[in-house]
Amino acid sequence: MNKDLKETIESKHKEIEPLFHKGGKFEKFFPLFEAQDPFALTPPDVTKGHTHVRDAVDLKRVMFTVVVALIPCLLWGIFNAGYNYYHYSGIEANPFMILFRGALIVMPIVLTSYIVGGIWEVTFAIVRKHEINEGFLVTGLLFPLTLPPTIALWQVAVGITFGVVIGKEIFGGTGFNILNPALTARAYLFFAHAKDMTGDVWAKFRYFDPELGKYVDGKTGATPLGLGASYGGQAADVTERLSSDGFSLATIFGGLMPGSIAETSAIPILIGAAILIVSGVGSWKIMAGGVMGLLGTAILMNFLPSGVVGDVTLTTWTQVPFIYHLFMGSFLFGIVFMATDPVSAAQTDMGKWIYGVLIGVVTVLVRVTNPGFPEGVMLAIIFMNVMAPIIDYYVVRGHIAKRNAYLRKFSYAKG
Amino acid sequence: MTADFKIKNGLDIPMEGAPGDQIRSVPLKGTVSVFPSEYKRVKFKMLAEEGDTVKQGGVLARRKDQQDFLLRSPVAGKILEIKLGERRSLQEIVIDPTDAADQETFTTFTVNGLLKTPREDLLSHLKDTGLMALIRQRPFNVIADASVPPKSIFVNGMNTAPFRPDAHLLARGKAEELQAGLNALTRLTDGPVHLCLAAAKAVTPDLLTKAANVQVNYFDGPHPSGNTSTHIHYLDPVLPGDTVWTLRVSDVLRIGELLLNGVIPSTQTLLLAGNGVKPEARGDVKATTGMSLSAILDGALIEGETRIVRGDALYGDIAVPESGVYFYDQGYVVLPEDRERHLLGWYAPTTEMYSAHKVVPSAWLKGKKFTFGTNTRGSKRALVLTGIYDKYVPLDIMVDPLSRACISKDTEDAIALGILETDPEDFALCTFVCPSKTDFGAIVAETLALIQEEGF
């Protein structure tokens, strides 16, 4: 049966392929044909050049593995969105209702991202006559997962447009971009539509109130990061205050709380991280470096008082134990899925460590020293995306110096 | 004096089609060709004409840039045709061999006498007989320049690539030829002659492990621990301005044969391997230099479309069956041309197609051998994944920055990053494992050619 299906598809492909070739009716749409063709069947191409055999790995497989690693986060995001919807609207709901409601909230956001982003991707592929890159499968899912579930669909469309066009295509497409496109898209929304993206509006679902017989706004629910910033500069026991506001360490780890779609729970993110690390697709060096940088800086910050110190205003976050920093906000999601994007990250081994550690350090610095931004991960990663080539430059110079030292050893030995 | 090097970086591809250790002879059939075109970038001037009869060892042509560097015939016979290519470059000289044992004879040497033969005499003898072409030089892997003494000479006796001939098998029963060749090499440099062997072979002493007057070095580890670049990097790396000379054990044996017998060797031992060759035909064959490949491969290949590779599966040139045995050849790997398409193959959890990446299930199967065809197994994409290539290169080279320097034609950076220590074959594994299907060997080869042209 499988074989018959394969033969049918193969013969159909052979039938329509000439339409897309030079002189064919759909010549302009060759990238479209080229994109779907190897998805159905592996290409019949044979090797050229001097190396005659090839590994079975393909960029499609690598990229799709990231999508697979994101699926636990997507499922969690759906459940959490449904849960919060009912939680803040005060309606009792069973798990099926929660999942259904969650899917109704999250899937349109994901689909909008894929469809609008996909249209841009195809447009550029046709105009530039290059292949459609599978990297978009990742960007198209990564971006919506970083958004609050209350985001408007037109904002999703504008955001992914910015990410694909300005974040990637103006640099020449996948492989040439400086910043992570998904994060560029999110950063754009963050600054352009700040009030819809941050702080304490994240649980603002409109819901149908059967008693009143009309749609009403839900209660607002704050995120722990938003709350923490609002505690002001008092040197109170922050964890106690968080706990009394409903954010114990267990809640923060488990993640049944308001926040961006995929960031709230550590569990699905850790499953995704395991998939990326075991399959070798994501760099464990960046992840490990990031966690180390975050923990180290958070511990150092604990020695500082909060409030106004000299010219600097420090937020209450100086007093938060490092473990809260790790599970709160979107740090885990960012370091596992965003920071490890191989195109915008540092490329050398040593560079990856430095890049990861600095993302952790900058994240805590933004959280602690900048009362304007409750969350620092996005800014930290974008900042380090920009710095990555400089890190690599110095790592490579160091490598050359080490090489020369090794070579010189031999010239001395010879006199 | 023995050094030991344990190489960690690299990969032994579990490829089916490994040869056995039998050697059979293939009788000479049809015409014999000499291919001046195989000496890349070297121009020749014909000294004989169509219709001339030549002896075995008779002069056919000389290098345009070196009057005393001759090209001689491996067999006696009549010149049938001289084929010219673009801009009248000499491509092929077709000779109809005769049975007559009509040989040009040269000075003979003794094994021990060679240790005292003056360097200049040896070099002019090698150039006169054309066997100088077997000695190559780094950087750039070109025919050695006799006027610049090398700081050391490297003889490669390893076969980590899939597949190259087993030097220990080739040397069996040729004690005198081997030692004569090695002794001659010791006269060509003031530095040491390094013979590099697989550590596994040290257990059973044979002619190679017991070779005299040279430094025997053992290398252990996956491919490319057997590549000459690896040996040079660890033993005596090439510094700017340095040259080292390189040979394979089979080359040393041929030089030894010439020096002892005073006759141009007319046969070569060639390896047939790969899963395009029938299992019973896999192994070494002894054949006449220049005879047609179709005569050698007659009946040895599997059914269906195949590709003949001059060299190994990871690095070699495609050869057509109508072509002949090149002077440099030491074997052919034959692979099926695989144009089969697989339904959803890009994500199907394959266990039949080998991968070195853990993201493919087949990478988890230890000890299994895989069949290989010539399919690209994916389409070409921009370079996206980084930092995965370095673990396939045992030299102190960072592949990502080097390939970027090469692509942007930044020769200065490429040199600083160590390109002069390399040969394109050293990057074959990077090409093999690349998920974006990038040809690193080609990228490096292009830049090496550019540097060679511009000087440095």
Same domain flag for B207 and B279: no
Same domain flag for B149 and B250: yes
pLDDT exceeds 60 at position A33: yes
Nearest CA-CA distance, residue A209 and chain B, Å: 46
pLDDT exceeds 90 at position A354: yes
ipTM value, please give it.
0.91
Number of domains in chain A: 2
Q: Is residue A26 part of a domain?
A: yes
Q: Is residue B345 part of a domain?
A: no
The residue in chain A having the minimum alpha-carbon distance to the alpha carbon of residue B239 is A407
Q: Is residue B332 part of a domain?
A: yes
Nearest CA-CA distance, residue A23 and chain B, Å: 23
Same domain flag for B257 and B110: yes
Same domain flag for B151 and B251: yes
What is the band of A1 on the pLDDT scale with cuts at 50, 70, 90?
very low
pLDDT exceeds 90 at position A69: yes
Same domain flag for B417 and B329: no
Same domain flag for B67 and B186: no
CB contact under 8 A, B400 and A281: no
Same domain flag for B199 and B135: yes
Nearest CA-CA distance, residue B334 and chain A, Å: 10
Ranked by mean pLDDT, the top range of A128-142, A239-253, B100-114, B150-164 is B150-164
Nearest CA-CA distance, residue B441 and chain A, Å: 8
What is the band of A204 on the pLDDT scale with cuts at 50, 70, 90?
very low
Mean pLDDT lowest for which of A205-209, A374-378, B8-12, B118-122? A205-209
Q: Is residue B209 part of a domain?
A: yes
Q: Is residue B51 part of a domain?
A: yes
pLDDT exceeds 50 at position B65: yes
Q: How high is the pLDDT of residue A3?
A: 66
Q: How high is the pLDDT of residue A374?
A: 66
Same domain flag for B79 and B131: no
Which domain covers residue A19, as residue numbers?
A: 2-40
Average pLDDT of chain A, as a whole number: 83
The residue in chain B having the minimum alpha-carbon distance to the alpha carbon of residue A345 is B386
What is the band of B232 on the pLDDT scale with cuts at 50, 70, 90?
very high
What is the band of A39 on the pLDDT scale with cuts at 50, 70, 90?
confident
Q: Is residue A183 part of a domain?
A: no
Q: How confident is the model over B155-172, as pLDDT tens digits? A: 999 999 999 999 999 999
What is the band of A284 on the pLDDT scale with cuts at 50, 70, 90?
very high
Last residue of a domain, one of B78, B97, B116: B97
Chain A interface mutation, best of B16, B138, B343, B438, highest count of A Cβ atoms under 10 Å:
B343
pLDDT exceeds 50 at position A200: no
Which domain covers residue B83, as residue numbers?
A: 32-97
pLDDT exceeds 50 at position A86: yes
Q: How confident is the model over B195-227, as pLDDT tens digits? A: 999 998 888 889 999 999 999 999 999 999 999
Residues of B in contact with A347 (CB under 8 A): 386-387, 400-401
Across the range B288-316, mean pLDDT stands at 93
Q: How high is the pLDDT of residue B215?
A: 94
Q: Is residue B18 part of a domain?
A: no
Same domain flag for B114 and B246: yes
Residues of B in contact with A50 (CB under 8 A): 311, 315-317, 424-425, 428, 439, 441-442
Q: Is residue B8 part of a domain?
A: no
Give the integer Cα–Cα distance in Å for A312 and B82: 86
Q: Is residue A57 part of a domain?
A: no
**Higher per-residue pLDDT: A224 or B58:** B58
Contacts across the A-B interface (CB distance below 8 Å): 219
Q: Is residue A71 part of a domain?
A: no
Instruction: Give the domain CATH number at B73.
Output: 2.40.50.100
Across the range B139-165, mean pLDDT stands at 94
Residues of B in contact with A49 (CB under 8 A): 431, 439, 441-442
- Among A65, A349, A402, beta carbon nearest to B387: A349
The residue in chain A having the minimum alpha-carbon distance to the alpha carbon of residue B14 is A55
Same domain flag for B255 and B312: no
Q: Is residue B75 part of a domain?
A: yes
pLDDT exceeds 90 at position A371: no
CB contact under 8 A, A174 and B317: no
Q: How high is the pLDDT of residue A150?
A: 84
Last residue of a domain, one of B210, B235, B261: B261
Q: Is residue B428 part of a domain?
A: yes
CB contact under 8 A, A57 and B355: yes
Q: Is residue A123 part of a domain?
A: no
Number of domains in chain B: 4
What is the band of A239 on the pLDDT scale with cuts at 50, 70, 90?
confident
Last residue of a domain, one of B261, B279, B305: B261
Same domain flag for B407 and B330: no
Same domain flag for B150 and B199: yes
Residues of B in contact with A352 (CB under 8 A): 387
CB contact under 8 A, A406 and B396: yes
Q: Is residue A154 part of a domain?
A: no
CB contact under 8 A, B237 and A56: no
pLDDT exceeds 50 at position A82: yes
Which helix (H) or strand (E) segment holds residue A6: the answer is helix A2-20
pLDDT exceeds 60 at position B4: yes
pLDDT exceeds 50 at position B278: yes
Q: Is residue A249 part of a domain?
A: no
Residues of A in contact with B378 (CB under 8 A): 38, 42-43, 54, 57-61
